[in-house]
Structure 1
């Protein structure tokens, strides 16, 4: 055991001193910071400028309120703890739900965005003007993001920086592929950009149609699974209206039963989501 602790201490000291022992070379530029998954979820949920600290504070407040209500109604410590945990997770559930709805809605509009770009390029417009025109001609859900691109490009004239900002606002892997295609076409030139975009539009329409069909087939299974997960807890709330039931759950056996029920519920729900989840594209061009 002492050898393991000594080795761990040595590795820790080596990592601490690595910044002085192996400094960055003078000509080596630091890597650009990668956007986190949390930042992408916030952007898709429509609250990109909200700091993570504010979300944590709101979650803590909701957890305290939920725990206080549970304690006032049931006066059972384990139920108070469960209610506090659920209250703290409400913010995360809401953000994830909004992001998933926005992501699903975007799948239907990206083919139209690509078609507008193809039409603009074939009409002789430059790539920045083609992208900026989507602020008026594109789908309503993305107009504000493209308006921000148009404003930044006209202000700075830097196409690459404006594209990076637009990718951050959209926070979508399909948008990353479209914008990187346009960036490459602007930097290296080429006459195949319209054919590439048309092929991408066809693929996106086929993928969106297939996903919509699968989701429609899975919807009744998901709803039945959610009802099966919620039914025992609704029954618990009904039974908790009787004093003798609360007394039983306030015992050590009742605490073990509730905690086991929470664990089974979480595992079953996560398995249901995992088995029914379709593969999502990752953002490789952040």
Structure 2
């Protein structure tokens, strides 16, 4: 098992290094998502994701074999463990995106002040406000500002910003700022204030929804750990390990693991906060 996993990992690493300058859109989207990377991720990130998945699978196999013995239960738990690093990385990315989205009301307020009181243009006010953006957003603003300085093409600079942040709120704000820059008007300050209020209302509604779900999310994680503790306690009761190693015990453990995973995924699905779809992609 370990030798085969290491051989597969080594072959995959060689392939990723050879294709380092190739078009990574050829990598399947489902594969990159399972590894916690975006479809356009670099070969290095894909390799690190693959190594993390292999290490998690080996750890899951070892722990399950020590608890239950046999083959069926360890194989199932190893398969489930392999996807955990990717899901954890994706969850952290979603959390950072949610935190960054909450910064837009303050950024829009800075843009409005720059336009109305400092006589700055919309591009200058946008990129000046971007210097105070959160760390996860600042790099995208720096790239867009660099493109603006080199080309003075506000539309292409905003396209670069939208691509880097990949967020529906950013898409809507960038399109509104582009229209305001191209059309202009005497009510520009009022429109910017309304845009900031809309972004603030959306961020507040999402924060309130997450706060209301805090107890349910804690219960979801706690309940998922209970079967593991019960399985460990079962080892000290009578002939616990021998019962787990029996064919019937292996199948019952596998069924229990699948039931816990199904309930976990179902609970996450019904608690998911709806995300707006990106519509300004061109």
Which TM-score bucket, shorter chain as reference?
0.7 to 0.9
Instruction: Report whether the alignment pairs 1:78 with 2:72.
Output: yes
| Count of paired positions | 250
Q: Give the structure 2 partner of residue 278 of structure 1.
A: 273
Query: Hey, what's the Cα distance between the residues in 2 that align with 1:264 and 1:196?
Result: 52
Deviation at 1:73, TM superposition (A): 2.5
**Cα pair 1:113 1:139 within 8 Å, conserved:** no
Alignment partner of 1:58 is 2:46: no
Question: In 1, Cα distance between the equivalents of 2:158 and 2:43?
Answer: 22
Q: Deviations over 1:236-276 (max 9, x none)?
A: 13434679322222223222212221222122112222222
Asked whether the 8 Å contact 1:111–1:204 carries over to 2, the reply is yes
Q: Contact between 1:43 and 1:171, CA under 8 Å: does it hold in 2?
A: no
1:208-247 mapped onto 2 (5 Å cutoff): 208-240=203-235, 244-247=239-242
Distance 1:138 1:159, change over 3 A: same
Q: How does 1:1-286 map to 2 (within 5 A)?
A: 53-70=46-63, 73-74=66-67, 75-122=69-116, 123-240=118-235, 244-286=239-281
Structure 1: gaps (5+ residues): 1-35
Structure 1 251/270 Cα, relative in aligned 2: closer, same or farther at 3 Å? Answer: same
Gaps of 5+ in 2: 1-28
Shift of 1:225: 2.5
Considering only CA atoms, is the larger Rg found in Structure 1 or Structure 2? Answer: 1
Secondary structure at 1:285's aligned position in 2? coil
* 1:28-83 Cα deviation digits (max 9, x unpaired): xxxxxxxx7999999999x9656663255224422442255236624321232133
Q: State how far apart, in whole Å, the 2-side matches of 1:111 and 1:38 are.
A: 35
User: Is the CA contact (8 Å cut-off) linking 1:65 and 1:84 kept in structure 2?
Assistant: yes
Calculate the aligned-residue CA RMSD, in Å: 3.3
Q: Does the 8 Å CA contact 1:41/1:99 hold for their aligned counterparts?
A: no
Mapped contact 1:111–1:205 kept (Cα < 8 A) = yes
